């Protein structure tokens, strides 16, 4: 079946993009692999009107609202390939179904690549966290850590004392320079250069970390900036260009959220080095609006 637009990805960005097209009465398909990045989190925080609500509940309600629009169709499954022939896009799902559309919106997200430290992965999303703005309040006034995993980890460590007593673990990889050491000291951040080799306690809770020299330091939560990879090969298959960001690649977009491939729009974490529910939703809105305008006013796009 042919659609005016196919939105691939049913998390905050994809649902927000689909809503704009649905309200414009465009015939669209939402494809959802049902493996959102935020599935490890108990609740979404800092998202206006949804603070403390489970991500799965937000997405379920978003789908319920979308289903009220008669021009919206849904396909649960993993999109494994996409191609363009002339002005038509073809998308194939893992189960063999195929669909075509005049436009695509990629809201396919990213997947996290965590440092290989025993005990870290089973705490991801609970006491090993990616963002203090998203989760810092819930672990406030406890012993907190920042794991040095990229050049901007020091900046994150400078912010952390607003939530609790903080230690910066450089892992021996991202050592602060003299100016940064002075800034960390002024903020009351302890610097620990010996690498963490194990996270301790009954997961998903965190009680302490073991260092390479054998010391055990009490710790209740740690913030980690994991490296990210595209969760889907579709953007690469379509020939979209990427830009390098501190934590991994992002899909290159113009001001209209269009990729370097005409007719392909993108939104969400795969397009932005800053990962946040509100930002993902907002980028989905813009992608949906501009996608609609390209359908309604093709001569201007």
8 Å CB contact between 19 and 281: no
What is the Cα Rg of the chain in Å?
A: 21
* 204 preceded by a cis bond (ω within 30 of 0): yes
pLDDT band for 52, please (50, 70, 90 cuts). Answer: confident
Most confident of 16-30, 145-159, 269-283: 16-30
pLDDT the model gives residue 237: 98
Residue ranges of the alpha helices (H) in the chain?
Answer: 12-23, 55-66, 132-135, 153-159, 178-186, 234-238, 277-296
pLDDT the model gives residue 77: 97
Read off the tokens for 177: 């320079």
8 Å CB contact between 226 and 144: no
pLDDT the model gives residue 81: 98
**pLDDT, average across residues 184-201:** 97
**pLDDT, average across residues 94-106:** 97
Torsion angle of the four alpha carbons 120, 121, 124, 128, in this order, in degrees rounded to the nearest 10: 10
Comparing C-alpha atoms, which of 110, 143, 121 is closest to residue 245? 110
More reliable by pLDDT, 109 or 150: 109
High-pLDDT (> 70) share of the chain, %: 99
Comparing C-alpha atoms, which of 44, 1, 76, 39 is closest to residue 279? 44
Contacts of 200 (CB under 8 A, 6+ apart): 119, 206, 207, 208, 209, 210, 216
Full set of structural domains in the chain with CATH:
2-111+228-300 (3.50.50.60), 115-224 (3.50.50.60)
The single residue listed with the structure tokens 């009954």 is 202
DSSP 196-220: EEEEESSTTS--EEEETTS-EEE-S
More reliable by pLDDT, 32 or 130: 32
Comparing C-alpha atoms, which of 243, 249, 273, 232 is closest to residue 104? 232
8 Å CB contact between 268 and 13: yes
pLDDT band for 299, please (50, 70, 90 cuts). Answer: low
36 pLDDT more than 90: no
**pLDDT, average across residues 105-129:** 95
Task: Label residues 176-188 b or e (16+ Cβ within 10 Å = b).
Answer: beeebeebbeeee
**pLDDT, average across residues 187-216:** 97
pLDDT the model gives residue 45: 85
What is the chain's mean pLDDT, rounded? Answer: 94
pLDDT the model gives residue 30: 98
Query: What is the per-residue pLDDT across 226-282, written as a single tens digit (0 to 9) for each?
Result: 899 999 999 999 999 999 998 899 999 999 999 999 999 999 999 998 888 899 999
pLDDT the model gives residue 41: 80
pTM (two decimals): 0.93
94 pLDDT more than 70: yes
31 pLDDT more than 80: yes
């Amino acid at each position: 079946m042919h659609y005016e637009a196919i939105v691939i990805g049913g998390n905050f960005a994809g649902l927000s993009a689909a809503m704009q097209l649905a309200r414009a009465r465009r015939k669209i398909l939402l494809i959802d692999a049902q493996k959102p990045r935020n599935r490890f989190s108990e609740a979404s925080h800092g998202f206006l009107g949804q603070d403390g609500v489970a991500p799965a509940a937000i997405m379920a309600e978003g789908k319920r609202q979308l289903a009220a629009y008669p021009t919206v169709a849904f396909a649960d499954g993993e999109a494994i390939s996409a191609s363009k022939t002339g002005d038509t896009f073809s998308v194939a799902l893992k189960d063999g179904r195929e669909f075509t559309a005049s436009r695509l919106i990629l809201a396919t997200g990213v997947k996290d690549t965590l440092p290989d430290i025993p005990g870290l992965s089973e705490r991801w999303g609970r006491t090993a966290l990616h963002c203090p703005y998203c989760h810092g309040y819930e672990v406030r006034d406890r012993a907190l850590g920042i794991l040095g995993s990229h050049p901007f980890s020091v900046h994150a460590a400078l912010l952390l004392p607003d939530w609790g007593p903080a230690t910066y673990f450089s892992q021996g990889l991202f050592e602060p320079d003299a100016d940064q050491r002075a800034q960390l000291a002024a903020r009351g951040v302890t610097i620990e250069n010996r690498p963490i080799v194990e996270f301790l306690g009954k997961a998903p809770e965190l009680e302490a970390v073991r260092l390479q020299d054998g010391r055990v330091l009490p710790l209740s939560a740690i913030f980690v900036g994991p490296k990210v990879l595209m969760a889907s090969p579709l953007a690469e298959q379509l020939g979209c260009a990427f830009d390098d960001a501190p934590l991994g690649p992002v899909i290159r977009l113009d001001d209209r959220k269009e990729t370097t491939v005409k007719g392909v729009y993108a939104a969400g974490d795969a397009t932005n080095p800053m990962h946040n529910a509100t930002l993902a939703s907002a980028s989905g809105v813009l992608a949906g609006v501009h996608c609609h305008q390209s359908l309604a006013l093709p001569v201007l796009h």
